[in-house]
């Protein structure tokens, strides 16, 4: 079965995004796991805690995006990529270019 070119483009984009996000969340995890990696100039532990909280929020956001990308990759395999999960209509090329992991059309976003 032939895969449409647009799906191949999406596949390459999603894989690249996935690799970037993995690298980013690993980078963040290293810092989050090691508070000593923070600059000694932090005046108080409250500031360190706040930084760590931001870090963990960023890690959580990256993991959420990874889940979305994995779901999009699964949809490419299933042949349903680019279709809205609510109405089954096309999500639209421009929207997919801006958000390759989009699962809903603009109306159902």
Which residue's CB is nearer to Zn ion, number 8 or number 109?
109
Contacting Zn ion (CB under 5 A), which of 19, 86, 97, 109?
86
x-marked contacts with Zn ion along 1-40 as a string, rule CB under 5 A? ----------------------------------------
Contacting Zn ion (CB under 5 A), which of 10, 84, 96, 102?
84
DSSP 32: H
CA dihedral 50, 55, 57, 73 (to 10 degrees): 180
3-state secondary structure of 102: coil
- Which contiguous run of DSSP H or E holds residue 7? helix 5-33
Which residue's CB is nearer to Zn ion, number 28 or number 84?
84
E strands along 35-86, which residues? none
Is 91 among the residues that bind Zn ion (CB under 5 A)? no
Is 45 among the residues that bind Zn ion (CB under 5 A)? no
Contact 87, 107 (CB under 8 A): yes
- Spatial separation of the C-alpha atoms in residues 24 and 12, rounded to whole Å: 18
Instruction: Output the smallest distance, CB 90 to Zn ion, in A.
Output: 9
What residues make contact with Zn ion under the rule CB under 5 A? 84, 86-87, 105, 108
């Amino acid at each position: 079965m032939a895969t449409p070119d647009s799906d191949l483009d999406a596949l390459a984009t999603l894989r690249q995004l996935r690799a970037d996000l993995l690298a980013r969340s690993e980078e963040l995890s290293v810092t989050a796991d090691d508070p000593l990696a923070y600059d000694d100039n932090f005046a108080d532990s409250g500031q360190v805690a706040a930084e760590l909280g931001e870090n963990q929020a960023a890690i959580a956001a990256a993991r959420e995006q990874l889940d979305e990308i994995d779901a999009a990759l699964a949809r490419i395999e299933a042949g349903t990529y680019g279709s809205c999960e609510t109405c089954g209509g096309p999500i639209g090329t421009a929207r997919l270019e801006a958000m390759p992991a989009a699962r809903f059309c603009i109306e159902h976003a």
